[in-house]
Structure 1
Amino acid sequence: MTVNVLFAARKAAWESYEAPLRAALKAAGVKARLSVDLPAEEVDYIVYAPNSDLQDFAPFTRAKAVLNLWAGVEGIVKNPTLTQPLARMVDEEGLTQGMVEWVTGHVLRHHLGMDAHIVNPDHDWIEQAPPLARDRVVTILGLGTLGSACAEMLVRLGFQVRGWSRSGRKVENVACFRGQDGLEAALGGADIVVLLLPDTPATENVMSAHALSLIKRGGVIINPGRGPLIDDAALLSALDSGQVGHATLDVFRIEPLPRDHPYWAHPRVTVTPHIASETRTDSAARVIAENIRRGEAGEPFLHLVDRAAGY
């Protein structure tokens, strides 16, 4: 039996994904009609990017699932016409590995104090070795697939790793916390804080002025998660006062970050243009194909979104 798969994303994404998806579906044993243009009433699965022109899911009465190409679902989860099961992208081969590498690199950058040697216009001879990883506390807010993988890597490097999640997840050799009291405990005295929470009403401005006051003075904020996790005014104030020594930010409330935004010119801010990690077409195509195979076999879908929680 042939299943009809609608690819609903921008043209550039189709050009990148068409061949990998066809190959992945074939390898999964799924006979599929894959197209960017199918009658709504014939569609069995929608492969979807939230920046697609498709915003009304009501006509897709036969669709068994919407399979998101992105890890983030905040741009789709609240759509009232979306009644089909929604799966987010969890790509451990590509997306997760890329995030682990980016987070580990920037944690080590700040831990080792590399900036002082990379940018040293006065040629200062700074004979001061950094402490060992075991003497640093790194707190990760968000212990989903990405946060847990980053935590595990940092543990292997010897850091004291704390983790906080709303659901109270556990990661081996990580001091895990939950709830408001747990958040304060996780942040208290942290040298480096990594933000990998989803964007939901409950996580907006989680890094408030109060939260920023809890970390070790001169500590570092690293945000490859979502822009709204940070109260921007509070962070700028904490940077100016020295409470936060540096912020490395990959995501923002408005993207691209406006050229006149204070982050660009601030000497204690590093801006990276939402490149911490991305979905890799080959591995993501295999994730999509596996979910379609599962749907046709009557097996549970992977990575289903909890609509109430928002992720």
Structure 2
Amino acid sequence: MIKVQFAARPERWTGYQAPLTAAFEKAGLDVDLRQDHAPADVDYVVYAPNSDLQDFTPYTGCKAVLSLWAGVEKITGNQTLTMPLCRMVDPGLTAGMVEWVAGHVLRYHLDIDRSIATQDRWEPVVPPLAQERPVAVLGLGALGAACAQGLAKFGFPVTGWSRSPKEISGIICQHGPDGLTQALSQAEILVLLLPDTPATENILNAETLAQLPKGARIINPGRGPLIDDAALLAALDTGHIAHATLDVFRVEPLPATDPYWAHPKVTVTPHIAAETRAVTAAQMIAENIQRGEAGAPFLNQVDRELGY
């Protein structure tokens, strides 16, 4: 019997116990799923980084830690976590992110905020076609690639950027420092979906913000530290950046005194762009345990050097 430890906050157990049990049964896995296995007996840990489990030293037989979170920056530095670590790439989460990003890109593209603000007068302004509105997506992992392709289906010319070369059908793919400049220089709408690593922190700063066209809009459902907040506020105040929709922040919940709350050119959403769905996440966890038991490579295993 495969012993699986569930290590997350109590409310997560309530939401995940039944979907995980069903997914294991469907996959033909004989699993003993608990919250209280003896650490040395555990084969796999289903894990949330904000759980009480922070010392993995006693888990001497653990074959893999399967995170419930897409982001792993809070655990890659844990020196006791020496076994394979897999991040969550959940079809439900991906679908939610594509829908959220598409909604806000279309909101900017159609200038829906202006329509709402001018309800007291007749001032027709016809938006351009999507094919005339360049969009850039920074980050071409599972979420970034899905969002880029989703936007391309609307007709937007989409440029994607990543640190290393990528090829994605229908997307202009750039990489490296020169590619970043090219991606930013034409982006009327910019979407940030990079991981939080030392190499990506403050990737949107005074210098890179200046490379965007005047009047560009920014959407960040990725990670808060991707943006130099002071530089963004300055760019908004000068009018170089027309508006920003921010879903993630360096400190969450966003403090009541943070200037983003009251800024007229900022939309704050409370980290709701995408959420892991228990049913689809459970299916991904079951598949990875199947692979582990068969000796096959794990899906979405984290590269510790890259941090994602």
Same fold at TM > 0.5: yes
The bucket for the TM-score relative to the shorter chain is over 0.9
Answering whether residue 117 of structure 2 is matched by residue 119 of structure 1, we say: yes
SS at match of 1:128: coil
> 1:216 Cα shift?
1.1
Specify the code of the residue in structure 2 equivalent to 1:69: L
2:102 — aligned with what?
104
| 78-87 vs 166-175, greater mean Cα deviation | 166-175
Q: CA RMSD in A?
A: 0.8
Q: 3-state SS of the aligned residue for 1:46?
A: strand
- Equivalence for 2:14: 15
Residue 171 of structure 1: CA displacement? 1.1
Aligned partners of 1:247 and 1:170: how far apart in 2? 28
Amino acid at match of 1:301: F
How far is 1:189 from its partner? Answer: 2.7
Match of 2:73 in 1: 74
Partner of 1:217: 214
Paired amino acid for 2:151: L
Question: For residues 143 and 67 of structure 2, what CA distance do their matches in structure 1 show?
Answer: 17
Tell me what 1:28 maps to: 27
Q: Does 1:168 align with 2:142?
A: no
Mapped to 2, the partners of 1:247 and 1:192 lie a distance apart of: 10
The one-letter amino acid paired with 1:77 is T
Q: Which whole-Å CA distance do the structure 2 matches of 1:150 and 1:124 have between them?
A: 35
Q: Structure 2 matches for 1:218-297, cutoff 5 A? A: 218-297=215-294
How many angstroms does 1:196 deviate by?
0.2
What is the distance in 1 between the residues matched to 2:117 and 2:98?
25
Distance 2:90 2:117 in 1: 36
Partner in structure 2 of residue 57 of structure 1: 56
Q: 1:124, CA displacement in angstroms? A: 2.6
Q: Which amino acid aligns with 2:86?
A: A
Give the Cα–Cα distance (whole angstroms) in 1 for the partners of residues 69 and 196 of structure 2.
Answer: 13
- Measure how far apart 1:33 and its partner are: 0.6
Partner Cα distance (1:124, 1:215) in 2:
32
Whole-angstrom CA distance in 2 between matches of 1:109 and 1:32: 46
SS of match in other structure, 1:258: coil
In structure 1, stretches of 5+ residues that fail to align are none
CA offset at residue 134 of structure 1? 0.6
Matched residue, 2:128 = 131
Which residue identity lines up with residue 308 of structure 1 in the other structure? Answer: E
Offset, 1:173: 1.8
Letter paired with 1:101: E
Q: Distance in 1 between matches of 2:60 and 2:195?
A: 29
TM-score, normalised via structure 2 length: 0.99
The separation in 1 between residues aligned to 2:74 and 2:123, in whole angstroms, is: 47
Q: Percent identity?
A: 61
Matched position secondary structure for 1:66: strand
**Structure 1 letter corresponding to 2:136:** T
Provide the residue aligned with 2:183 in structure 1.
Answer: 186
Equivalent position SS for 1:225: coil
Give, in whole Å, the separation in 2 of the partners of 1:272 and 1:107.
15
Paired residue secondary structure (2:194): coil
Displacement after TM superposition at 1:232 (Å): 0.1
TM-score, scaled relative to structure 1: 0.98
Shift of 1:128: 1.0
- TM superposition shift of 1:119: 3.1
Matches within 5 A, 1:137-152: 137-152=134-149
Is there any run of 5+ residues in structure 2 with no aligned partner, and where? none
* Dislocated runs of 4+, deviation >3 Å: none
Q: Report the AA paired with residue 193 of structure 1.
A: L
- Per the TM alignment, residue 49 of structure 1 is displaced from its structure 2 partner at its CA by 0.3
Determine whether 1:88 maps to 2:87.
Answer: yes
Match of 1:304 among 301, 304, 307: 301
Tell me which residue corresponds to 2:201: 204
AA partner of residue 172 (structure 1): S
